[in-house]
Each structure stands twice: as structure tokens, then as C-alpha cells.
Amino acid sequence: MRHQNRVKTLNRTKSHRKALLMNLANSLFQHESIKTTSTKAMELKKVAERLITLAKRKDLHALRLAFSFLRDKAIVRKLFTDIGDRYGAINGGYTRVLKIGNRKGDNAPMSIIELTQKKEEKKGKEEKKTKEEKKPAKKAEKKAEKKPAKTTEKKTEKKTAKTTEKKTAKTAEKKTTKKASKAKEGTEET
């Protein structure tokens, strides 16, 4: 009988199960929503909620405990700076599991597990900041566009000046050659 055994084995050894949950947790915190089987999602929910509670504590010991499980510095940094801040006022219920039906190949029940508070809610404030940041960038781009335009105008002016000088030089040469040829004709006739 399986009395008091709360962990689902997922038909894996302990080390394999730990690695699986670590990878799923890393993917969940990176993408904030993943699709997996319902059994794995329910086990991942326990792990993810525990890690988010550690992230809310924001002390060194909690950071080291989270890193010892996740083993990815970038994900732990995101967990403690971004995700932990989102859930500061909430006690539990950080993730939700949505059942989406059965998988086509083996008919396994599938679910989507996601964080309840998305980053998109704060996006309105960030959009204003990014618009303000983009304005100076656009001005700089316009200035950059104007500068090459001036240099190209100067280059075209120089080219036209050179071509007109060449044309005038050629016409002057033609005139002198015509005069010389007429003079020679005149001397030959006499």
C-alpha cells in the first residue's frame, strides 16, 4: 500500500525524476507557460510554488537553495528579480494548470502550466518608457540620415563641377582645334 507517499514517481528513478522536474521548472520560469502531461504538471506545480516562495524571501540562503535545484544562474536571477517581485503580496497560487485534452499519439492527458501573473500586465508602463527612449533614437537616426545626405550632395556638386569643367575644357579644345584646322586650310588654299 502507498500510504503517506505523496510524491508521484512518474515511473522514474529519484535522480531521473529530480532532473526532469529541474528541466521543467527551468522551462516554466524562462517561458512562463509550458505544455506537458497533466501528471508532470501537477508535480511541477509543487516544485515551482516552493521555488517562488524562496524567491520572495530574497536572502542569500534562499538564493543558494534555489540554485542548488535549478542549476542555472540566469533563471535564478530572473526568478529572484522579476518573478519574486510579482508575487510579493500574494501567499500561494502562483501557478495554474489548465487541462487541454489528450495527446494524439498515445492519448496521454495534456495540460498547460503557467504563472498566474504575466509580465504583460506591466507592459503598459514599459511601452511608455520605450516610446520615450525611442524618440531620441529616432532623432539621432534623422541626424545621421541628414549628414550623409549633405555629404552626398557635396559629392554630387563636386562631380557636376568636375564634369562641367571637363565639358568646358573639351569644348575649348574643340574650338581651338577647329580654328587651327581652319587656319591650316586657309594657308593651304593660298
Grid cell in block for residue 101: 485534452
pLDDT confidence of residue 144:
58
Asked whether residue 68 is assigned to any structural domain, the reply reads: yes
The pTM (predicted TM-score) of the whole model is 0.63
Answer with the one of 117, 150, 165 that is the final residue of a domain: 117
Range of the domain at 34: 14-117
Least confident span in 18-32, 108-122, 125-139: 125-139
* Alpha helix stretches (DSSP H) within 37-122: 38-57, 60-70, 73-78, 84-86
Classify 88 as helix, strand or coil: coil
Percent of the chain with pLDDT over 70: 68
Do residue 28 and residue 93 come from a single domain?
yes
Q: Is the pLDDT of residue 40 over 50?
A: yes
36 lies in the same domain as 112 = yes
Instruction: For residues 147 and 128, give the distance between their C-alpha atoms in angstroms, rounded to a whole number.
Output: 29
Q: What is the pLDDT of residues 50-109, one digit of tens each?
A: 999 999 999 999 999 999 999 999 999 999 999 999 999 999 999 999 999 999 999 999
Residue 104 shares a structural domain with residue 159: no
* Within a domain: 1: no
Which of 14-18, 27-31, 38-42, 186-190 is predicted least confidently? 186-190
48 and 106 housed in the same domain = yes
**Whether residue 112 sits in one domain with residue 130:** no
Residue 53 and residue 37 in one domain: yes
The residue-averaged pLDDT of 138-148 equals: 57
